[in-house]
Structure formats: C-alpha cells, structure tokens
Structure 1
Amino acid sequence: MKPTDHSTGPSKPYLLGHYAPVSDETDGFDLKVTGTLPPDLNGRYLRNGPNPRPGEDPGHLFVGHGMLHGVRLRDGRAEWYRNRWVRTNKLAGAPYLRADGTVDRTAVNANTHVIAHADKLLALVESGLPYEVTAELETVGPCDFGGRLTTAMTAHPKEDPVTGELLFFGYGPTPPYVTYHRLSATGELVESREIPVPAGLMMHDFAITENHVVWLDLPVVFEPRLVGRSMPMRWDDDHGARLGLMRRDGTGDVRWFDVDPCYVFHVGNAHEDAAGGVVLEAVRYSHEAYHRMWQAMGGHVEHPPATTGWLLGETQGGRVHRWRLDPATGTVSEQALDDRYVELPTVNDDLTGRRSRYLYTVAEHAILKYDTVAGTSRSFGTGPGTSPGEAIFVPARGGDGEEDAGWLLSMVSHGMTQGSELLVLDAGDLTRVASVEMPRRVPAGIHGSWVADEGRPTTAR
C-alpha cells in the first residue's frame, strides 16, 4: 500500500519526506524479523508523533494530530503492528480557545509522547491534558487525575526510579506561567506548586536529581501576535537565560543561575556530584541553530538564518552540552561535549536523576552513544537516506550490572518508498541484533516508550 503524500511544497519540511503523514489506520500481524529478537523483549514498543489528516496543513510540526504506532514483541516474535490517531476533542473539531476566551485543555493534539505510569498509558502534549489510551492504542479519553490537574502537562515528565513518583509541570501564556506537579507511584496527584517566572515561555523539558528539580527559563517566549498564524513563540534576546534549582522537599525558593543565551528542547539527565554541585547534560541550541530548527518545523522566524534544511538534517539539531551548578558559590560552568548536531537524548531510565555514564542520541543517518565519563563516543550508521528515531534503552533481564547491558529500540524510516523498520541494537557495542519490518511506512515521529509485560515500564523522555 503506497501512502498518500500530503506535501505542499519545499517550504514545509514537516509534511515532506520522512515526516510525510500517512492517511489511514492499519494492522499487521506476524511481522518479518531479521536476526534474532532477544527472548526477554516481551512487551510493547509505543511511539507518538504528529500526523495531520489527509489534506490538512497544521502550519507547524507541533500542531499535527497525534498518531500512535505500536509493535507487540513476545517470545522472539513480532506479533503485531498497529497505528491509531489519538481521538482527542480537537480531532473531533472542538476549538482550543473558546468563545469566552478560556481554553479547552482537552482540545489538544496529544502528539508528542506516550508513557506508562501506575495503571495508565498516557498520550502527552505540553499544551493541555494527557489522553489515556489502551494497550491496543484505542483512546479512552482525557485524564485530569480526578479533577486535580488544572493546568497543562508537559510531554516530558520524569519518573523517579527509587520512589516511583512522576514529576512534571505545566506551562501557559498567562499566570501562573509554570506550575510544578507530583504524582504518587500509584497515580494520585499529591502536589501542585507555582514556579515564579517573569513571562509566558516555552519550557519544553526539565530535569530532576535525587533532591532537586532543574528548571529551564530560556529565551523562547509567548508572542500574542502570532496566535492563529503559527506556533505563538519567538526568541526574545531581552528575556535572558537561566537555570533554576528547587529542592524537591519543598523547602526554600528556586535559586537561579544565569547562563549564556541558548535553548534546550530535550534534557539527557542530571545528577548531584560528590562536591554538592548539580550537573545537567542536554542538547543545547545556539540562537542560529534554534532558528534553523524552528523554521524547518514551520515556526515564525523574524530574521531567517542563511542556511535551512530538513529536520535533523546536516544543518539541524543542537549539540550535547554540560552545565554544573554550584549552590555553595552561586556559580555555573558550561562545557560543550561534542560538535556534532544531534537530538532526542535518552539514558538508562533506572538512573534518571542519578549519575549516568552513557547518553544515546540521534544524528543524521546514525545513532550515537556518548561515554560522558571517558569523553568518547561511538555510532551506528543506519544508512544514507534514513531517519532513525529516538533510541529507547531497554535493560536486559539478569544483566551483568553494567549500565549499558540491554538494547536500544529505534523506529527507522527509510523514506517514502522504502518503508520502516524497528531496529534493535546491543546498547553495549551498538551492533545490530535484529530488525522488524513494518507492514507500512511509519513517519518520523517524536517520543515513545517500551512497556514491558512485567516490571517497571521503560520510558524515553
């Protein structure tokens, strides 16, 4: 079956090539496997991403309707693939902005991430409420945790591997601009707290450590005049850039550290070091790199950069960067760890908020693994013309105790006519273990999770 190409021209890369939407929902069974799937990969690989309906141009990558893709693995077999739109109120035609000026946080596209927590699977987008879905990817409906969640929910919550709590936040264009939330391990919303920031901003991600939350107050802010025209965000040189430290026990105020102007879409990890500092590793965008990526996504850019390209192409992406915040002295140090353009950083989620050595990222035609202690890296090339997706780490059962004992799962797009595969790599040496051929092309998407049949779900951030 050849998918419909909804391309509208070279100025809309979010509708072209690897990102071109598919036009329908389908199911496939007994999928072809090359190599040998590890027998303890028993569970579901789930991935979310924007997928406009036929004939629609959402105007921005972030605005397309959410579509979930799932692959069921069990006992060395790939039992099924299926894809489903998340049936939100927005998909049904409800407006996000009501006639009275209030917003409907259920009228969202739920297109960014899909996670498991407590007894729920949730499709997430940062502009509104999450949507609960079933293990077969059918939509249950919006979730506000018993009426307690009254803000949007980030698409990048962090689950503490020790306490099982899910920490997250919501942001918006009007006060309170940022609100911190905490779900218990059983899924009860037990804390909500305003985080003072001076303006409405796009806070796409954040980080946690064992005792702290790390906030990202960076210079991409809400722009009212863009409402209805594009994603209403712009880079504001006057806003400044700072990282905030907040104690998770609720004591003290947020302590802010000024940093060089930049933007961060995605955090790798953070931890507390032996000297009492907090170390953050993330993909950092310079002013020019941000504008290249934002323009490719369909965003408004007042002064377009001289070079543009495809999403995650040769001129797209940010660079892995490290900040160290020192609460004792109030100082911050910054260090670039690599000069390659990458995105979608992930780690072994058993070490979220703790010291982790390995960071996995995606580059053009490759998956990269960084050893952040040794300062080295290695890569696995997926081939010319491919677009590898976020690499989700799945720990090996009965592993040898090594942080990288396990596998990386990545949905790789081979383009409009070559289909897609679910690639399984050995996370230790980045060798190919197996691949599962998809029964249809899967567009390049954003984030996903491995939901194991037993034990704690493994969720990319």
Structure 2
Amino acid sequence: MSSQTGRPLWMDGHMAPVPDEIDAVDLEVDGTLPAELSGRYFRNGPNPAPGEETGHWFSGHGMVHGLRLRDGRAEWYRNRWVRTTHFTGGADLVGPDLGLDRAAVTANTHVIPFNDKIYALVEVGFPYELTPELGTVGPCDFGGRLTSGMTAHPKQDPRTGELLFFGYGFFPPYLTYHRLSADGELVESREVDVPGGTMMHDFAVTENHVVWLDLPLVFDADLAVQGVMPYRWDDGYGARLGVMPRDPDRAGEVRWFDIDPCYVFHVGNAHEDAAGRVVLDCVRYAPADFAKVWATIGGLPAAEAVNAAAVQGMARLHRWTIDPSGGKVLGEALDDRGTEFPTHNDGRTGLSHRYLYTVTGDSIIKHDLRTGSSATHSPGQGLIPGEAVFVPAADARGEDEGWLMSVVTDAAGRGSELLVLDASDLSRTAAVRLPRRVPAGFHGSWIPDA
C-alpha cells in the first residue's frame, strides 16, 4: 500500500529510512534518568540504503540504533547498519541452484545479549555478532553446529540461563528446535515434524514444554520467483498449537491441537498452571485482520493492497489454555483493543506472569492479567511509541518494579526520543532527546553493564 506521497508506507513519514550513520554525545534529558540504569539500549529495524527499493517492510537492511546510559546521563547515541554479506556485497540468501547462504541476510528484526555477546537477528539465517559500540563482528553458526536459521525471538530460561530457539525452512526440514547452554554451546538440535514450510515468527516456552504455532501463512515458491515476500495465506493448511516436552529424552513427542484459523507474529509469555495446563498469551490476528495488515506492509501487489488494506488490520490480546491430558484447547479474548509487540519481565519467561505490556498506535498499555484491568500511557498528540522493553529495578521485589523503555517517533517524521516510564504505574520518568528521527522498527533490548 502506498502513502499519499505515492511512496510505500514503510518509506514515508515516521517509518521512512534514514540515509546515513551518525554519532552524538551528551544528549539532552528531560526528567531524571535513574542512576542505576547503566548500560545500553539497542533497537533493530529495517532501513534500506539510499536509493534502494524494497517490496515489503520486512525486507530492508538491519539498522541498530543505540544509546549509552550511565550515572543519570545519556552519554551517546549512534546508529549503524548491520554489515551482513547481503548489505556489503549483495549476497543472496537463495542461490540459483536453490542453495542457501545463511549469512546473506538482513539481520533486521531483533538485537539481544547472550553469554557476553550481542546478536542481531532475523529468522531466515544466522545471527550476526555486534560489538557494544555497534560494530559488526560477523555471522555466528556456533562452531558450525547451527545449520538452520535462528528465530528472532529466542527465549532465555531465567532458571538455567539456556537460550531456546528454532529455525524454519522453505524446504525440509521445515522446523528445527535448538538449545544453547548458558555458556553459549549448541547442545541440542532436533527436527520437529510439520506438514510444510510456514512463516513461524515466534514460539513460547514453559518450565517443561515448548509451544509451537503452526499457522496458515505458507511458503510459495512462485512468489519467491517474482521477487516478493514469498508467503501467502492458505486456508487449506489449517491452524494448530503444538506442545512438546523440553526433555531431550522425549524428542519427537509433540501433541497438536487444532484452533480456529489465525496468525500470530508475537507471543507475550506462557506458563503451566496448577492443573498442568499450558497457558499461552499472545497477540492474535483474525484472518481478515491479517489480510489487511499483510497487504499494508507489502504482502500483496500494489493494486490488490489498495483495496485489501482500506482499513488497517489489528491484532488483539488473546489467551489459549491447552489441556494436554484432556486433549482440549480453549481460546479467549483478553482485550478488544488493537495492539502489538507484547513484552513482559523476562525474569518470568516460561513462568506464571501477572503483567504484559503492549503498544497501540498512540499508547503503551499495561495489562494486569490477574484483575483484567489495564493502564495506559499516551506520549502525546501525534507521537507513536515503539515496543516497550521492561528493565527490572536492581532491588525489585514485585514483577512490575522497574522501567519501560520505548523509542517514540513523531508521526510526521520530525523527531524521536527514548521514553522511560515507571513500569509500576506508567508514569513518565524521563525522556532522552535523540539527535535524529528513528524510523519505526521492530525489537530491542536493554543490555546492562556487567
């Protein structure tokens, strides 16, 4: 879909790419940054190089925007493209012989710390290691053991320190589960049997299980040949959730549960309740909503997108409760507002959680899943918040004691700030004035000093 300027929406306004890399120091702070916030906030997103045209928002080269905070000051801001082989030399993920070069990726979706390293992620290929100053070290395949892509949404177990992730494929094997030990060694890989290649963007883990979302956005080789995003909706594929034991001695044991057709880009969290049921919270697109949003961000040829995306599609906070012993799954809406980018206190990953945070077009929402209530913070007229990353307080006793960090950008594309909220009540703590507009992007992380 195009904007009123005739350019694609992801090339205009607050989504438009920036043309270069800059550095700035001693940034202006409005309010008071907590002194204990000592570290870096990095956020990734697609940013085509000047003059490049992309057919989908998801296709631009990865650019990471970073801020260094210390002693109540914002010491620096800088932005850098991730220098993948695709960015520096035009290497292609899929070669003429249909072979895959897993290093030839955009690395544009997420940026995470793990085992004293920093990785830029995109789901179709290898992670790229970055320096704390946003230099590119290079692709990582964990000593040659990783042979699939790596999801942009790995889950770190807060109890063991392990990093759990998966890779999906255009061709068999369609789905592979992986586990990194806390010291960064790839210690487990196992194929998971699914009917075909789908865009599986996210997954969930609990204390004892992995939860799969096998949904009807399928790979289409004909679309790949046309040079567009090679995934389309297929009603015939069906939709289901899978529950797989994490115990490596039970590899291959997956119980599947049919659900109504839908799509999920992002999981909030999952846990096992007292009855042994698996509870999964996510933001869910109904089929009609997914068709609209997929068209808007470039999933259809322009002529079709204009009609299909006349109204923006929305995801809504949703819960599935899966009873493995009874063979049943119950779905229920948790909120009727359109939201995306669910986050939580990562110390609760895979465990019971009370709070989730999401964003709408103009607000950040805190959802209290115990009471069903919510609180909202709106940055201001015409200001659009990005994903709100939870940062725990050093002496936190409660799940919501800490801060939320979100890059907020003016809808007209005039400027941006890093907004810091008190996560307990969504009150404004501080805002760091950024030296340039930061385009709407995807996911980020707080990387505390050791």
| Fold similarity call, TM over 0.5 | yes
- Residue matched to 1:46: 42
- The farther-off stretch of 76-85 and 98-107 is 98-107
Deviation at 1:99, TM superposition (A): 2.9
Deviation at 1:358, TM superposition (A): 0.3
Deviation at 1:355, TM superposition (A): 0.4
Q: Is the 8 A contact 2:288 2:313 kept in 1?
A: no
- Residue matched to 2:357: 360
Give the match's secondary structure for 2:405.
strand
- The farther-off stretch of 90-99 and 108-117 is 90-99
Q: 1:12 aligns with which of 8, 19, 33?
A: 8
Give the match's secondary structure for 2:103.
coil
Counterpart Cα distance in 2 of 1:194 and 1:336: 32
Counterpart Cα distance in 2 of 1:170 and 1:278: 23
Counterpart Cα distance in 1 of 2:5 and 2:60: 17
Describe the superposition over 1:376-397 as per-residue Cα deviations: whole angstroms up to 9, x where unpaired. Answer: 1110012222220100000011
Give the match's secondary structure for 1:245.
strand
Give the match's secondary structure for 1:14.
helix
- Residue matched to 2:232: 234
Describe the superposition over 1:21-68 as per-residue Cα deviations: whole angstroms up to 9, x where unpaired. Answer: 000000000000000001100000000000001111111011100000
Deviation at 1:291, TM superposition (A): 1.1
Q: Give the gaps of 5 or more residues in structure 1.
A: 1-5, 455-461
Deviation at 1:293, TM superposition (A): 1.0
Counterpart Cα distance in 1 of 2:137 and 2:255: 40
Give the match's secondary structure for 2:14.
helix
Counterpart Cα distance in 1 of 2:170 and 2:196: 8
Q: Is the 8 A contact 1:292 1:305 kept in 2?
A: no
Give the match's secondary structure for 1:70.
strand
1:389 aligns with 2:362: no
Give the match's secondary structure for 2:358.
strand
Q: Is the 8 A contact 1:416 1:441 kept in 2?
A: no
Calculate the TM-score normalised by the size of structure 1: 0.94
Give the match's secondary structure for 1:91.
helix
Deviation at 1:7, TM superposition (A): 8.1
- Residue matched to 1:458: none
- Any residues of structure 2 matched to 1:195-344 within 5 Å, and which? 195-227=192-224, 228-250=226-248, 251=250, 253-300=253-300, 308=309, 315-344=312-341
Q: 1:21 aligns with which of 10, 13, 17?
A: 17
- Residue matched to 2:51: 55
Deviation at 1:305, TM superposition (A): 8.3
Q: Give the gaps of 5 or more residues in structure 2.
A: none
Counterpart Cα distance in 2 of 1:390 and 1:217: 25
Q: Is the 8 A contact 2:382 2:412 kept in 1?
A: no
Equivalenced residues, count: 444
- Any residues of structure 2 matched to 1:422-441 within 5 Å, and which? 422-441=418-437
Describe the superposition over 1:107-142 as per-residue Cα deviations: whole angstroms up to 9, x where unpaired. Answer: 100000000111210000011111001000000000
The structure 1 segments of at least 4 consecutive aligned residues displaced by more than 6 Å after TM superposition are none
Seen in structure 2, the aligned counterparts of structure 1 residues 417 and 97 have a Cα distance that, compared at 3 Å, is closer
Give the match's secondary structure for 1:225.
helix
Give the match's secondary structure for 2:243.
strand
Give the match's secondary structure for 1:337.
strand
Describe the superposition over 1:370-422 as per-residue Cα deviations: whole angstroms up to 9, x where unpaired. Answer: 001101111001222222010000001112x1110000000001145531000
- Residue matched to 2:60: 64
Q: Is the 8 A contact 1:70 1:83 kept in 2?
A: yes
Give the match's secondary structure for 1:340.
strand
Letter aligned with residue 348 of structure 1: N
Aligned CA-pair RMSD: 1.6
Q: Is the 8 A contact 1:284 1:319 kept in 2?
A: yes
- Residue matched to 1:111: 108
Q: 1:100 aligns with which of 97, 100, 106?
A: 97
Counterpart Cα distance in 2 of 1:317 and 1:76: 37
Letter aligned with residue 39 of structure 2: G
Describe the superposition over 1:205-243 as per-residue Cα deviations: whole angstroms up to 9, x where unpaired. Answer: 000000000000001000111014311000100011000
Deviation at 1:16, TM superposition (A): 1.3
Counterpart Cα distance in 1 of 2:315 and 2:280: 15
- Residue matched to 1:414: 410
Letter aligned with residue 269 of structure 1: N
Q: Is the 8 A contact 2:155 2:163 kept in 1?
A: yes
Q: Is the 8 A contact 2:44 2:109 kept in 1?
A: yes
Calculate the TM-score normalised by the size of structure 2: 0.96
Percent identity, please: 61
Deviation at 1:260, TM superposition (A): 0.7
Q: Is the 8 A contact 1:60 1:230 kept in 2?
A: yes
1:75 aligns with 2:82: no
